[in-house]
């Protein structure tokens, strides 16, 4: 962690942020690596970063949906689609519904209409196309050759239940924790049975319904598949996906929760370091002072001003990390 923090600081990252990031990466790199990479430090670092790539993909999708809502507050995606259609063609007109649009059209929409920076637009385009046409990217050499259906674009609105990429991210993390506790529930597509090293969307979709804590309302399989497609290939690797779900994503959630706990403790207890703030919560023997006002509230400190799904995920992570640190 010290070497990572030094590199980050040299790159201009603030010292306190560099310290938290380095500890988070070290925590995420210490777990279950993809098959055949045990003991490889570069593989461990890629494994640690992979969960943050999934989280970044969720962030870009959320940012896209928020951008559409802000730009088209009345009609949402239906109104946005009208801006995507060729000039003079109305939604509901001949060839509109049931038709398709080119990837380049969506790229221009991201850059010109939503005013995304070019780099963000390109990454968002790839994530959106993974969600719009799961599996299709694997059959194409160039993303510009891809087209997506109008109905699939409208489906990103989620109908009566809006899609929530952050909810998908939380569900993936909770699935991983549950499967680690009960490996017998591991879906067949993740077990390593058969010769196929990739998980096709149909197999993942069938498994997704059985994962987690109930119906995937607001978190459909196609959205989870798009987030897990971190290489932008249009399909997901079995070993890489298994390592992501069982280890990297739960560890990233824990690290994120610990970072928020640390920031909150420093703000509310004072002190220049995590150790100084922590010392105010324990007695001379190192036991948690259970009647300390903050001790009674520590698992809820990451819920302020956050969405319900994200708050629930952070609360779960906070509970685990607080238990490991204080008990």
Residue 219 pLDDT: 79
Q: Within 13 Å of residue 296, how many CA atoms lie on the same side as its CB?
A: 4
The whole-model pTM stands at 0.75
User: CA-CA distance, 278 to 77, in Å (whole number)?
Assistant: 47
Q: What is the pLDDT of residue 3?
A: 80
Task: State which residues of the chain have pLDDT below 70.
Answer: 86-98, 135-142, 158-161, 192-195, 212-218, 271-275, 278, 281, 283-327
pLDDT tens, 197-208? 888 888 888 888
Instruction: Match 């990572």 to its residue by tokens.
Output: 4
> Looking at the DSSP assignment, which residues form a beta bridge with residue 101?
148
Return the half-sphere exposure (C-beta side, CA atoms, 13 A cut-off) of residue 252. Answer: 24
Phi-psi region of 12 (alpha: psi -120 to 50; beta: other; left: phi over 0): left
To the nearest 10°, the Cα dihedral for 215, 250, 137, 84?
A: 70
User: What is the per-residue pLDDT for 307?
Assistant: 42
């Amino acid at each position: 962690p010290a070497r990572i923090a030094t590199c980050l600081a040299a790159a201009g990252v603030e010292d306190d942020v560099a310290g938290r990031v380095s500890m988070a990466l070290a925590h995420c790199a210490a777990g279950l690596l993809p098959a055949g990479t045990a003991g490889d430090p570069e593989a461990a670092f890629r494994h640690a970063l992979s969960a943050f790539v999934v989280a970044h993909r969720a962030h870009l999708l959320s940012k896209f949906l928020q951008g559409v809502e802000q730009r088209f507050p009345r009609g949402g995606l239906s109104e946005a689609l009208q801006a995507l259609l060729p000039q003079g063609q109305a939604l509901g007109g001949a060839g509109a519904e049931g038709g398709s649009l080119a990837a380049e059209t969506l790229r221009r929409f991201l850059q010109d209409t939503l005013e995304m920076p070019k780099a963000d637009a390109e990454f968002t385009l790839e994530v959106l196309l993974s969600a719009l046409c799961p599996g299709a990217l694997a059959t194409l050499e160039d993303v510009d050759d891809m087209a997506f259906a109008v109905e699939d674009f409208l489906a990103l609105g989620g109908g009566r239940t809006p899609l929530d990429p952050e909810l998908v991210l939380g569900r993936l993390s909770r699935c991983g924790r549950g499967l680690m506790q009960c490996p017998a529930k591991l879906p067949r597509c993740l077990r390593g049975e058969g010769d196929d090293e990739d998980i096709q969307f149909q197999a993942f979709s069938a498994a997704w319904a059985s994962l987690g804590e109930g119906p995937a309302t607001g978190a459909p399989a196609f959205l989870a598949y798009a987030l897990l497609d971190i290489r932008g290939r249009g399909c997901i690797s079995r070993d890489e996906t298994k390592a992501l779900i069982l280890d990297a994503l739960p560890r990233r959630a824990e690290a994120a929760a610990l970072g928020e706990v640390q920031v909150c403790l420093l703000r509310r207890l004072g002190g220049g370091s995590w150790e100084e703030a922590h010392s105010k919560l324990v007695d001379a023997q190192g036991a948690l002072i259970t009647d300390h006002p903050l001790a009674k509230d520590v698992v809820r400190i990451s819920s302020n001003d956050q969405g319900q799904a994200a708050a629930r995920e952070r609360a779960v992570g906070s509970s685990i990390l607080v238990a490991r640190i204080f008990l």
